[in-house]
Chain A
Amino acid sequence: MSFISAGFFLILAITAFVYYLVPKKYQWIVLLIMSISFYTASQTKFLFYILFTGLSTYVAGVRIGLSVSKKRRKMWLLLALFSNFGILVALKYLNFFVENLNALLSVVPGSTSIHPFILLLPLGVSFYTFQSMSYVIDVYQKKYEYEKNLFKILLFTSFLPQLLQGPIGRYDRLAPQYFNGQKFDLKQVEYGVQRILWGLGKKMIIADRANAVVTSIFSRLDIYQGAYIVLGLLMYSVELYCDFSGGIDVVIGAAEVFGIKFDENFRQPYFSKDIGEFWRRWHITLGTWMKDYIFYPFSISKHMLTFGKWCRKKFGKNIGKVVPIAIANLLVFFVVGVWHGANWKYILYGIYNGVIIAASALLKPVYGKCRTALHINVKSKGWMGFQMLRTFILVNISWLFDICKDAGEAFYAFGLMFKNFNVQALFTGNLLKMGLNLRDYKVLGIGLLILLISSIMKERGINLRDFVADRPLPVRWALYFILVFATAPFGFVGAGSNFIYAQF
């Protein structure tokens, strides 16, 4: 059941109704019942996994909180991390190891291959595992007290809208909102509905249409090349952003209906001026998770500090400072790649990002000298536009690893972009054979224009939601009415109801 299913909205409406009827102290129980019922209904076979994560997170939190001995605390932390990440690795990556092992064995004469395992992924496993483990690590680091109620941890692990595709939340920010209860606030509910509608529009009007073009082009790399590949790639940029951020809008909106505010996961990522900034604007909660639980602990580890000192001594102050950070970034993006899936293409995707960030940090002084030599005003709009365009191109190239079925095909598609490049080839009528008609392209164009304008306004600090909320009630609701009934006919039909990030 996805965010655009009728069942999801029905569950949401019924739960919201009951949620505001019961006394505040019991509200979280309503959310827990909704979340577990949803998981049981759609993922009965996998209920064990999420219950295990909830239970092991709870037990580890309690044991770490109660233990005085540092050794015991560490033992419980490691136990929780190994068991939960162990399940994730086993379910998601076991066959990847088997495939690679078989590839290695195939060169050994007389060796037999290992049969791949039949493994199915529980819904939202990457998201709830990362979220739960952040709690265990935080309790270990004494950032806050452990939770004494198992069911509260279960809610934190399984809260429905967030469970499917994030954002990855933190216990200290969510617990007070879940457990202190919320007073009915019509404005809050209105904001939530507004956000849901915006997300649905992004997904159904824009992303699903872009998907038709992407699928048509990248499923036929034998016939498409040059400008078509570039078009397909641009469309994938549109699709991925609108699909993922649209889904997150629905999650954040649904939570707002219950008076709960999640951390934002996107901040106009395509306006980034470098890849580092892009990752601070794209899938923000995964980025901050990586920063808090991998980057910092790794950078300030004893070995890295010693290594940093050695570098400073050997290569001078600047390089000595940058090299350990570059290595930590490479590690983080390797993990980001692995998080996305069990395939070399994702690992390469992570490394690609890590290498660019590391290289730009190392070459910063060189870039600085070049800019001075060329008399470039770094504050000029032209330069900022160039930076955005450069970052956008680099990001688009990285999406090739995502769209193509494997790394080999990604490199092949990259090469195809430069083959027979001719923009005019796009206007020979082929675009109308990609599952979209002229009306679809018009709707897509208008949708993108609206998205661009709203993004520019947001970037300039103009909050569209507040602007809408300040209008008189009839105007506001007339707008919602139009949004409700526009998503339906202008939404694309036939793309299925899946969100790209729901598969992680």
Chain B
Amino acid sequence: MKKKLAAVVIFLIICVTFNSLANYCLIQPGLARTVYNDAKKGGYDVILVGASHGSYGLDPEVIEQETGLKTMNMCMGGEFFIDSYYTLCYALQYSSPKQVVLDIDYQYLINRDKQSLLFNNEYNGFPDGLLKLRYLARRILPEDFRGAFLPWTNYWQCYKYIPKTIEKKQSDAYKNYEPSVVDMNPYDHYYGGGFVYRDSEYKKDTTPAIYWDESKVSSSELYYIKKIVKLCKSQGINIVFTTITQDPDMISDQLSRFADADTYISNLANTLDVDYYNFNYLTQEKFARDASNFYDREGHMYGETAERFSRIFGKVLYKAWQGEEAEDLKADYFTSTYAELYRK
């Protein structure tokens, strides 16, 4: 029996060793590591959380110019609201912001069931510590075991780059959290503070937005939106919800669905007593745009558009922070209905 137990132990040691080696050799350094490290520098007045629309659409430097408030963009691709919650908790360890902006892309309210292992990017980049353990228990343990125990699964096709990956992970640039170690799309440039600038040479994708369907709203995602609001209010931080401007053609095609999503999020914001600014209502005068300003149908912005948009975003945010009534602000910047703006 002792012999057999020894064999079990040896087998487990081999498995754990192989797994650790696979993790080290295959998992590619992601941008999340760099973003978390930027957040660690602390002292931010505004923290933005949300998903890829935010990371490609909000340049904190431009927002800072408009508001005079030091801004950190912690929006990341594939970031569900549960991730936003833990990301915000992390940021709050190093900053005492005056303002938190939660950007709500409705797709993340209705798409939780079909998620891939994408969440690894954010979780893998999350700095070790007690908070990561809480994050693991709430986010990773209820999901596919590969995400928790075999995270290299998502990168197994990177076996061709093993020597390069090892070299990268041993470099000073990696140890210093520099974005240069991240294999980004050649059209993408990390501008710092969480913002990714995409060149306008990038050929437009056809990826459409997932259609809004209220019956698919995830109660767990709603729970974390409420937790984010509660966290901010308990610390005396002002919080606003936003939705970043998307491809107008996509909205025109799905006008009623976008309007329904807007109504749902507006009602949610009302219930939670939070102001909601849906920038899809921005007038053309304030922010001229057409489909060519977005690199996919889903509505991610090219860098150039993001710079223009961040200026308007900063202006609205600043006025809101200054105490201007949300209704007055909306009257100045927004139209009242989608139909007015997106008529074909």
The answer to the question of A496 belonging to the interface, with a C-beta cut-off of 8 Å to chain B, is yes
B184 nearest CB across to chain A (Å): 21
The answer to the question of A386 belonging to the interface, with a C-beta cut-off of 8 Å to chain B, is no
The distance in angstroms between the C-alpha atoms of A489 and B18, with both chains bound, is 14
The distance in angstroms between the C-alpha atoms of A10 and B114, with both chains bound, is 23
The answer to the question of B252 belonging to the interface, with a C-beta cut-off of 8 Å to chain A, is no
The distance in angstroms between the C-alpha atoms of A477 and B142, with both chains bound, is 28
Contacts of B1 in A (CB 8 A): 186
The answer to the question of B154 belonging to the interface, with a C-beta cut-off of 8 Å to chain A, is yes
A428 nearest CB across to chain B (Å): 20
The answer to the question of B201 belonging to the interface, with a C-beta cut-off of 8 Å to chain A, is no
The answer to the question of B329 belonging to the interface, with a C-beta cut-off of 8 Å to chain A, is no
Beta-carbon nearest neighbor of B117 in chain A: A493
Pick the residue among A7, A480, A489 that contacts B142 (CB under 8 A): A7
Contacts of B7 in A (CB 8 A): 473, 477
The answer to the question of B4 belonging to the interface, with a C-beta cut-off of 8 Å to chain A, is yes
Beta-carbon nearest neighbor of A494 in chain B: B116
Beta-carbon nearest neighbor of A184 in chain B: B1
Interface-centre pick from A42, A477, A484, A493 (highest chain B CB count, 10 A):
A493
Do the beta carbons of B8 and A186 come within 8 Å of each other? yes
Known: A485-B18, A488-B153. A6 touches B148 (CB 8 A): yes
Known: A186-B4, A186-B8. A491 touches B153 (CB 8 A): yes
Within 8 A of A (CB), among B123-165: 140-150, 152-154, 156
Contacts of A493 in B (CB 8 A): 116-117, 153-154
The answer to the question of B15 belonging to the interface, with a C-beta cut-off of 8 Å to chain A, is yes
The answer to the question of A288 belonging to the interface, with a C-beta cut-off of 8 Å to chain B, is no
The distance in angstroms between the C-alpha atoms of A496 and B149, with both chains bound, is 17
Do the beta carbons of A5 and B11 come within 8 Å of each other? no
Do the beta carbons of A5 and B144 come within 8 Å of each other? yes
A478 nearest CB across to chain B (Å): 10
Do the beta carbons of A6 and B141 come within 8 Å of each other? yes
Interface-centre pick from B8, B142, B149 (highest chain A CB count, 10 A):
B142
The distance in angstroms between the C-alpha atoms of A498 and B142, with both chains bound, is 11
Contacts of A495 in B (CB 8 A): 114
Interface-centre pick from B4, B117, B144, B147 (highest chain A CB count, 10 A):
B144
Q: Please classify the interface of chain A as helix (H, G, I), strand (E, B), loop, or mixed, using the class held by over half of its residues.
A: helix
The distance in angstroms between the C-alpha atoms of A8 and B140, with both chains bound, is 11
Contacts of A37 in B (CB 8 A): none
Known: A6-B148, A9-B149, A477-B11. A498 touches B113 (CB 8 A): yes
Contacts of A485 in B (CB 8 A): 18, 150
Annotate A476-504 by CB proximity to B: 1 below 8 A, 0 otherwise.
01001100110011010111111000000
Contacts of B145 in A (CB 8 A): 4-6, 8-9
Do the beta carbons of A481 and B143 come within 8 Å of each other? no
Do the beta carbons of B144 and A7 come within 8 Å of each other? no
The answer to the question of A1 belonging to the interface, with a C-beta cut-off of 8 Å to chain B, is yes
A208 nearest CB across to chain B (Å): 10
Do the beta carbons of B144 and A6 come within 8 Å of each other? yes
The distance in angstroms between the C-alpha atoms of A10 and B141, with both chains bound, is 8
Total contacting residues, chain B, CB less than 8 A: 29
The distance in angstroms between the C-alpha atoms of A26 and B114, with both chains bound, is 41
Annotate A452-496 by CB proximity to B: 1 below 8 A, 0 otherwise.
000000000000000000000100010011001100110101111
The answer to the question of B270 belonging to the interface, with a C-beta cut-off of 8 Å to chain A, is no
Q: Please classify the interface of chain B as helix (H, G, I), strand (E, B), loop, or mixed, using the class held by over half of its residues.
A: helix
Contacts of B142 in A (CB 8 A): 1, 5-7, 42
The answer to the question of B256 belonging to the interface, with a C-beta cut-off of 8 Å to chain A, is no
Do the beta carbons of B147 and A6 come within 8 Å of each other? yes
The distance in angstroms between the C-alpha atoms of A477 and B11, with both chains bound, is 8
Within 8 A of B (CB), among A310-329: none
Beta-carbon nearest neighbor of B156 in chain A: A489
Beta-carbon nearest neighbor of A484 in chain B: B15
Beta-carbon nearest neighbor of B3 in chain A: A473
Annotate A1-17 by CB proximity to B: 1 below 8 A, 0 otherwise.
10011111110000000
The distance in angstroms between the C-alpha atoms of A488 and B5, with both chains bound, is 26
A240 nearest CB across to chain B (Å): 19
Contacts of B4 in A (CB 8 A): 186, 473
Do the beta carbons of A497 and B150 come within 8 Å of each other? no
The distance in angstroms between the C-alpha atoms of A473 and B3, with both chains bound, is 11
The distance in angstroms between the C-alpha atoms of A489 and B114, with both chains bound, is 18
The distance in angstroms between the C-alpha atoms of A42 and B141, with both chains bound, is 12
The distance in angstroms between the C-alpha atoms of A86 and B154, with both chains bound, is 46
Contacts of B18 in A (CB 8 A): 481, 485
Interface-centre pick from B14, B140, B150 (highest chain A CB count, 10 A):
B150
Contacts of B154 in A (CB 8 A): 493
Beta-carbon nearest neighbor of A186 in chain B: B4
Contacts of A9 in B (CB 8 A): 145, 149
Contacts of A186 in B (CB 8 A): 1, 4-5, 8
The distance in angstroms between the C-alpha atoms of A92 and B36, with both chains bound, is 46
Do the beta carbons of A497 and B156 come within 8 Å of each other? no
The answer to the question of B263 belonging to the interface, with a C-beta cut-off of 8 Å to chain A, is no
Interface-centre pick from A7, A10, A480, A488 (highest chain B CB count, 10 A):
A488
Known: A7-B141, A9-B145, A186-B8. A488 touches B116 (CB 8 A): no
The answer to the question of B254 belonging to the interface, with a C-beta cut-off of 8 Å to chain A, is no
Pick the residue among B14, B115, B141, B147 that contacts A496 (CB under 8 A): B115
A5 nearest CB across to chain B (Å): 5
The distance in angstroms between the C-alpha atoms of A414 and B142, with both chains bound, is 38
The distance in angstroms between the C-alpha atoms of A477 and B15, with both chains bound, is 11
Contacts of B5 in A (CB 8 A): 186
The distance in angstroms between the C-alpha atoms of A477 and B113, with both chains bound, is 34
The distance in angstroms between the C-alpha atoms of A5 and B113, with both chains bound, is 13
The distance in angstroms between the C-alpha atoms of A186 and B2, with both chains bound, is 11
20 contacts between A and B (CB under 8 A): A1-B141, A1-B142, A5-B141, A6-B140, A7-B141, A8-B145, A9-B145, A42-B142, A186-B4, A186-B5, A473-B4, A477-B11, A480-B11, A481-B14, A484-B15, A485-B18, A488-B150, A493-B153, A494-B117, A495-B114
A-contacting residues of B (Cβ < 8 Å)?
1, 4-5, 7-8, 11, 14-15, 18, 113-117, 140-150, 152-154, 156
Closest 10 CB pairs of A and B: A6-B148, A7-B141, A489-B156, A494-B116, A6-B145, A488-B153, A488-B150, A496-B113, A6-B141, A186-B4
